[in-house]
A and B are shown apart, each in its own frame.
Chain A
Amino acid sequence: GAGVSQSPRYKVAKRGQDVALRCDPISGHVSLFWYQQALGQGPEFLTYFQNEAQLDKSGLPSDRFFAERPEGSVSTLKIQRTQQEDSAVYLCASSSGPRSYNEQFFGPGTRLTVL
Chain B
Amino acid sequence: AQSVTQLDSQVPVFEEAPVELRCNYSSSVSVYLFWYVQYPNQGLQLLLKYLSGSTLVKGINGFEAEFNKSQTSFHLRKPSVHISDTAEYFCAVGSQKLVFGQGTRLTINP
CA of A4 to CA of B43 in the docked complex: distance in angstroms? 9
Set of chain B residues within 8 Å of A1, measured between Cβ atoms: none
Contact of A43 among B32, B41, B95, B98 (CB under 8 A): B98
Closest to B97 in A: A45
- Count residues of chain A with CB under 8 A from any CB of chain B: 25
Closest to B94 in A: A100
Q: Is the CB of A101 within 8 A of B98?
A: no
Q: Is the CB of A33 within 8 A of B43?
A: no
Q: Is the CB of A107 within 8 A of B43?
A: yes
Chain B window 30-48, contacts with chain A (Cβ cutoff 8 Å), 1 for yes, 0 for no: 0010101000011111100
Most buried by B among A43, A99, A108: A43
- Count residues of chain B with CB under 8 A from any CB of chain A: 25
Chain B window 47-65, contacts with chain A (Cβ cutoff 8 Å), 1 for yes, 0 for no: 0010100000000000000
Q: Is the CB of B103 within 8 A of A104?
A: no
Set of chain B residues within 8 Å of A33, measured between Cβ atoms: 97-98
Contact of B43 among A44, A98, A108 (CB under 8 A): A108
CA of A14 to CA of B41 in the docked complex: distance in angstroms? 23
Set of chain A residues within 8 Å of B34, measured between Cβ atoms: 100
Q: Which residues 61-101 in A have Cβ within 8 Å of B in the complex? A: 91, 93, 98-101
A42-B103, A107-B43 are known contacts. Are A56 and B49 too (CB-CB below 8 A)? no
Chain B residues in the interface with A (C-beta under 8 A): 4, 6, 32, 34, 36, 41-46, 49, 51, 90, 92, 94-103
